[in-house]
């Protein structure tokens, strides 16, 4: 448990959970975790990417499109009611059906009064062995955004977005003091022994660097457990959800293989202080960055 929050701070909660093949069970347990987090003092709670199902993107199967639903829809309505009941902000990852044949990997921002503030659509879509997301999701079409919530201004990005400093920078430039990254990332068992820890360290380091570069908090929530919905070796999700502070320090970190509610204190004064002490936003050479819009410079 964390210490009692100061007046300029609040508790953030990340729900690190194991998913099953039962969508109703995953949703029910997520609700229970959010309720428990709120009772422990969390004022904003974030679930992991695609929390309502197994990570189905390990192969190409059109049957999985049946999991998607509209926004607003039954799932968002359900969690809006929960947010209003608990008076807590909820970040709700969802497999969004925007139209027949048009799907997004999304995250809804639900305020503490139960209102749906908006939806972030994952911008960077991976295409790797057992991460076949380009088959399922269109790239996000709403850009990088931030929302004013009951706890302050926050931004949401999703999983593969973690590797891109541009996304973190633009979200911070919209005023976000905390960047949330709902995630589903793990090891392929065949390469874990050789590359596993290096992969994990890369994942953590890049996100902690976003906190440093933007003088903000980064909160990354991952799932746990082994999932193989398509058969074969599947994926072993490494958990280790964490929160990093504005200097990149680890504020809180979860285990590799246990379901947990990770609580972390967010000091809102530290965000402004860090941006004044290390004024990266002031010293940016905006006049010299035009080439960033190019794919590659030979």
Q: Has residue 4 been placed in a domain?
A: no
Q: Has residue 88 been placed in a domain?
A: yes
Looking at residue 18, its pLDDT comes to: 98
d(CA 183, CA 38): 21
Q: Has residue 6 been placed in a domain?
A: no
- In order, the DSSP letters of 134-145 are GGT-PPPSS-S-
Q: Has residue 170 been placed in a domain?
A: yes
Tens-digit pLDDT profile for residues 22-62? 999 999 999 999 999 999 999 999 999 999 999 999 999 99
What is the percentage of the chain residues whose pLDDT exceeds 70?
A: 98
Using 50, 70 and 90 to split pLDDT, how confident is the model at 137? very high
**Structural domains of the chain, count:** 1
Average pLDDT, the chain: 96
Residue 191 burial (CB count, 10 A): 12
What is the percentage of the chain residues whose pLDDT exceeds 90?
A: 96
Tens-digit pLDDT profile for residues 122-134? 999 999 999 999 9
Looking at residue 7, its pLDDT comes to: 59
Looking at residue 298, its pLDDT comes to: 87
Q: Has residue 3 been placed in a domain?
A: no
Q: Has residue 220 been placed in a domain?
A: yes
* CATH code at position 110: 3.60.110.10
**Residues labelled as active-site residues:** 49, 122, 159
Q: 124, 161 in Cβ contact below 8 A?
A: yes
The residue segments making up the domain with residue 41 are 11-293
Tens-digit pLDDT profile for residues 209-242? 999 999 999 999 999 999 999 889 999 999 999 9
Arithmetic mean of pLDDT, 150-162: 98
């Amino acid at each position: 448990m964390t210490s009692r929050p100061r007046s300029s701070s609040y508790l953030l909660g990340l729900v690190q959970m194991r998913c099953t093949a039962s969508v109703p069970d995953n949703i029910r347990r997520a609700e229970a975790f959010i309720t428990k987090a709120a009772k422990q003092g969390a004022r904003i709670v974030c679930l992991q990417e695609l929390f309502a199902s197994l990570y189905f993107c390990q192969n190409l199967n059109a049957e999985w499109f049946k999991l998607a639903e509209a926004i607003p829809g039954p799932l968002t309505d359900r969690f809006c009611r929960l947010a209003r009941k608990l008076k807590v902000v909820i970040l709700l990852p969802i497999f969004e059906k925007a139209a027949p044949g048009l799907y997004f990997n999304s995250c809804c921002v639900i305020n503490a009064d139960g209102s749906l503030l908006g939806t972030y659509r994952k911008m960077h879509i991976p295409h790797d062995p057992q991460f076949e997301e380009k088959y399922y999701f269109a790239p996000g079409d709403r850009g990088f955004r931030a929302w004013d919530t009951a706890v302050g201004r926050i931004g949401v990005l999703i999983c593969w977005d973690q590797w891109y400093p541009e996304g973190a920078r633009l979200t911070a430039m919209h005023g976000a003091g905390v960047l949330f990254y709902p995630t589903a990332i793990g090891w392929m068992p065949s390469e874990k022994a050789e590359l596993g820890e290096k992969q994990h360290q890369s994942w953590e380091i890049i996100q902690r660097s976003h906190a440093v570069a933007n003088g903000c908090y980064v909160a990354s929530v991952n799932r746990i457990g082994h999932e193989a919905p398509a058969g074969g070796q599947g994926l072993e999700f490494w958990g280790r959800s964490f929160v990093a502070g504005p200097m990149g320090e680890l504020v809180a970190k979860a285990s590799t293989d246990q379901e947990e509610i990770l609580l972390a204190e967010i000091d809102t004064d530290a965000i402004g202080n860090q941006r004044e002490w290390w004024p990266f936003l002031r010293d940016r050479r905006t006049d010299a960055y035009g080439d960033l819009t190019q794919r590659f410079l030979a």
